[in-house]
Amino acid sequence: MPVRFTAAPSASYRVRRPLSTAELDTVRQHLHADVPDPQELLNTVVAAVFTALLTDVGETYPDHEPDPRFERGLYAIPISQWTAICLALTSRAATWGPTTTVEMDFAALMPSAYDDPTATTPDLGPPEQPASSIHIEVTREAADTIAACGRHIAALAYAYGGLDLSFIAAADTWSEQLTRLLSAPAGTRVVLHADGPLSLLVSTGNGDQSRITFRPSPTRCIAAGRCQAVATTTGGVVLWQPDQPGAVVLDHEHEPDAALDRPRPGTWITQP
């Protein structure tokens, strides 16, 4: 492709300089804009280049574009920038088919180029798009815990019925926790670890941590009287203890509010 080079630096030109980072970013935006055809692509890119250069002399590209006497060779950018723009444009134009005509028009419409060893080759690839997804990593142990949570909810439905409030509370709070994970801002990286029975540790890429903890409902004594005992099971042994300091624990045969061999109702909560 023919490239117009300026003569010696002392030659007459109106503007001869590198495009700034901001100006190159504008060119890049036009290189990857949604346009209907390669000719429109070429026109908008050339306009972006000359708009930047003509600013130096207080003029605009529409002032000169229709004029066949407009001397484009009186303006110049470094060959590294010129070539990068050319390659990016022809690569994009190739999506419409052969680019020979576009390349010839590009050489005719662009400003001149000059050698500037200090001007680096710009990256004119597509602008970075905002992240539109989240990335969730699940350890093997966490996957087993998630499966166990699902089985526990199914067991509650089987033991108490699908309309029982204890089942509904467990299912709703587990669903809320999963929704919270999936509603993290786009671009977030989340790692899930097991954190005890039916519980997860959640860590994010910025170092934050939280826990999804299963909090079982206490097994309370409902025998006649004002007994305020709750049952705890350790090693298969059931112990009845006060549910809070000063609570009344009657000396009688305790009656649990739910069979001790049934899956324990409860809810999932978020903890720091």
Break the chain into its structural domains and give their ranges.
15-114, 135-217+261-271, 222-255
Per-residue confidence (pLDDT) for residue 101, from 0 to 100: 77
Per-residue confidence (pLDDT) for residue 130, from 0 to 100: 65
Q: How far is CA 231 from CA 138, 217, 254, 262, in A?
A: 34, 11, 9, 13
CA distance 251 to 254: 8
Contacts of 198 (CB under 8 A, 6+ apart): 145, 148, 149, 152, 214, 268
122-136 pLDDT, tens digit each: 989 887 666 678 889
201-260 pLDDT, tens digit each: 999 888 899 999 999 888 888 887 788 888 877 767 788 888 788 888 888 888 888 777
Per-residue confidence (pLDDT) for residue 47, from 0 to 100: 96
137-157 pLDDT, tens digit each: 999 999 999 999 999 999 999
33-49 pLDDT, tens digit each: 999 999 999 999 999 99
Work out the angle at residue 126's Cα, subtended by the Cα atoms of residues 124 and 130, and round it to the nearest 5 degrees: 135
15-26 pLDDT, tens digit each: 999 999 999 999
* pLDDT over 90 (residue 261): no
* pLDDT over 90 (residue 184): no
- CB-based contact 190:203 (threshold 8 Å): yes
100 confidence band (pLDDT: 50, 70, 90): low
SS3 of 154, please? helix
Mean of all residue pLDDT scores within the chain: 87
* pLDDT over 70 (residue 66): yes
Per-residue confidence (pLDDT) for residue 270, from 0 to 100: 94
